[in-house]
Amino acid sequence: MSNIFSNIVDCTTLQANEYPQELHVRSHTLRADVGPESGSTDSAPSPHDYFDSALAACKALTAVWYAKRHGIPLERVATRVERDDSEERKGKYRLRVHLDFQGPLSGEQRATLERAVAACPIHKLMTRTEIEIETVA
């Protein structure tokens, strides 16, 4: 394995012939599954859920990071990502992000935070980056 890869995610089936998976990222353990419509029990978020969650988390973390760096009195941030995957097989996957900035913020500070989160790294990765995937058996 090449040393250019900086992060490793290990994923293993929990029980033979079943869907649920256990993932290890550094010292973190997560689980993944699919729903009943795919033949499992929805015991954990699906890969699509994690994809969408990455965007929600990145936007929230970007808002906190930006506010701290620029002295904006952001106390809390909440994000909600809604998915429309009805045309995914046609190449269209829609996500709608709702932002809720809490704290004694002026209108200008809210607008500044909105601009900052619009450029969060995961948003850019999902929309502007060419991703190469190499599968090795």
Tokens 């209108």 sit on residue? 107
* 3-class secondary structure per residue, the chain: CCCCCCCCEEEEECCCCCCCEEEEECCEEEEECCCHHHCCCCCCCCHHHHHHHHHHHHHHHHHHHHHHHHCCCCCEEEEEEEEECCCHHHCCCEEEEEEEEECCCCHHHHHHHHHHHHCCHHHHHHHHCCCCCCCCC
pLDDT greater than 80 at residue 3: no
Higher-confidence residue of 4 and 92: namely 92
Average pLDDT of span 106-119: 97
Residues of the chain with CATH 3.30.300.20: 46-137
Give domain 46-137's CATH number out of 2.30.30.280, 3.30.70.1290, 3.30.1330.10, 3.30.300.20: 3.30.300.20
Report the pLDDT value the prediction gives residue 5, as an integer from 0 to 100.
85
pLDDT, tens digit (0-9, with 9 covering 90-100), for 71-106: 999 999 999 999 999 999 999 999 999 999 999 999
